[in-house]
Amino acid sequence: MKLTLEQSVALALKQNTTAQIAVLTAAEAEQDKNISRSNLIPSADLQVSDSARRQNIETGFGQKIPGIPEHSGPFQVFNAGVAVGTPIFDWRAEIDERVDARASDFAGCVAVHRVAASGSERDGFEVAGGTGASAL
C-alpha cells in the first residue's frame, strides 16, 4: 500500500501520542472540575425505618415494682423523613487551598548544610532542597 504525503501527515497527527495525552489530560481536568463542583450541588436524603419495640420496665427503674408487669409492648414504630440541604460555603475548598499553599512553601524551602572536607581546606556549604519560589 502506498501512502501519499497528505495521508502520512494525517496518520502521524492521528497517532501522535503527545496529542492523545493532551486530549486525555484535558478530559481528566474537566472531570476533576465536575467532581469538585458536585460538592456544591444540593442533596436530598430519604430515610424510612420500621421496628417493633418491647421494653423491660424492671431494667429501666432498676428494681421490680409490685403491680406493674416486667415488660411493656411490643409497640410498632414507623418513621419516615426527607432531609434536603445545600452548602452555603465550601469549607473543604478553603482548607484544600491553604494546604496546597503550605505544601508549595515547603517545597520551596532550601536547606544549607556546612560541609567540611576531612583533611583538606575545602570547607564550604552544600545546598539541598526543593525548587519552589520561597527562600530562607
Domain locations in the chain as residue ranges:
1-31, 41-86, 88-136
Any bridge partners for residue 110, and if so which?
129
State mean pLDDT over 34-51: 88
Cα–Cα dist 42/88, whole Å: 10
Give the percent of the chain with pLDDT over 70.
72
Q: Which residue would you say has higher pLDDT here, 117 or 5?
A: 5
Say if pTM beats, i.e. exceeds, 0.75: no
**Which of 47, 43, 44 minimizes the C-alpha distance to 81?**
47
**Which of 70, 18, 78 minimizes the C-alpha distance to 47?**
78
pLDDT averaged over every residue in the chain = 76
Q: Predicted confidence band at 26 (pLDDT cuts at 50, 70, 90)?
A: very high
Q: Which residue would you say has higher pLDDT here, 49 or 114?
A: 49
Q: Predicted confidence band at 25 (pLDDT cuts at 50, 70, 90)?
A: very high
